Amino acid sequence: MSGPLGHVRVLDFTALVQGPMATQMLGDLGADVIKIEKVGGEWMRFWGILNGQSHGEMDSFLAFNRNKRSAEADLRDPEVRDRILQLAAGADVVVENFRPGVMERLGLGYETLVARNPRIVYCASVGYGQDGPYVGRPGQDLLVQSLAGLASLGGRDQDPPAPAGIGVADLAAGLHIVYGVLAALIARERTGEGQRVDVNMLNSLLALEHQEIASYLYTGQLSPRATSGIGSAYAGAPLGIYPTADGWLALSMQPLGRLAELLGVEDFAGIDSSNVIDDRDAVKRRLEQATRTRTTDEWLDHLLAHDVWCAPVNDLDRVVEDPQVVHNDILITLDHPSAGPIRVVGSPVRFSGTPSSVRSVPPELGQHTAAILQDVLGMSDEDIAGARERGAFGGAQSVPAA
């Protein structure tokens, strides 16, 4: 059974993280995603976190590009442009994350595509917006985290600002691409017409900072960063990360007096508040003296028996073996033709009637060029060969299985 988007075709012009993450999610939901890559391949085939190539392919590319077909093409070539316009005429969605104006200069902008296909949903995602004072700036995750104020909320007082440990601006934009595309597809069912959807990393990250920004706008006050590792610049004790005899323990909001009693700390008896702002650093340091006396597992057994909100602070080696992670079956193994068996994170959403699935592994560069040109556009072997001789299209010389 196909997924909920089994009737949808997506033309994917994205690279790196935000766009490929979004189109992979659409592919997991059943969409036919045609990934149009520049000749030589998109950036993530050559760059990724730690420059990791654990299986001979870039680890980061393998993480974000399953359930896609790859076509390798020179977007500056007039014949390629004409063929893509043919593809767009029968497509449902276009997703791109070029800088503003690039698709227009290639002759593939929204106005051109919607003239061919009024039902097209065209989603463009950039760093800061399609216009405005920062329109020409590079939109990279660390830069956006810093500009949006997120980095200023992390770390301890007197230390440098600390960005998040993952590319949260890219990932937030990817999620907004998906929900924007899905909303536009639903609207199209009612109106019969597509539309343009604009996403940017800055707005996406600001949307995640909703309550922190709202608090500042209400009060005009900035919450100072704590010196003791409180879990948020805006939170009070006891929320935070605590040392144990052999590691770390996360404690969330709960009445301070009750928690102190369970930890064997007498100083805070009778305090019902679960968000102590005044003297929060001193409170946390006093609790830390107690948490250091037992191992993380010993504290978990003791505190969870009393329904205290707590969790271990896992490194990734423990995450992948965590009993709940294993039970959720979120880590899947794919058999890649060149990389071999690879483990990746699967779709986080479950459907009872139209389940998501992995129908294909991350494609090799241009693996499906011939199939798309022949099966979708009806080009002959001779036409394809001529186009390849001019360098317009790359990829496999014969038609592979989809």
Q: How far is CA 368 from CA 21, 33, 37, 398, in A?
A: 20, 11, 11, 9
- Cα 272 from Cα 269, distance rounded (Å): 9
Alpha-helical regions (H) of 126-167: 141-147, 150-153
The one catalytic residue in 59, 92, 141, 170 is: 170
| Residue 170 annotated among the catalytic residues of the structure | yes
How far apart are the C-alpha atoms of 284 and 282, rounded to whole Å?
5
Nearest to 33 by CA among 59, 14, 58, 61: 14
Q: What are the start-end ranges of the H helices in 236-351?
A: 256-263, 280-291, 296-304, 316-319, 323-328
* Helix (H/G/I), strand (E/B), else coil: 256: helix
Residue with tokens 């009393």: 306
Q: Is the Cβ–Cβ distance between 375 and 386 less than 8 Å?
A: no
Q: Are 28 and 356 in contact (CB under 8 A)?
A: yes
Look up residue 182 and give its two tokens: 């899905």
Pull the structure tokens for residue 185: 């597809």
Catalytically annotated residues: 170
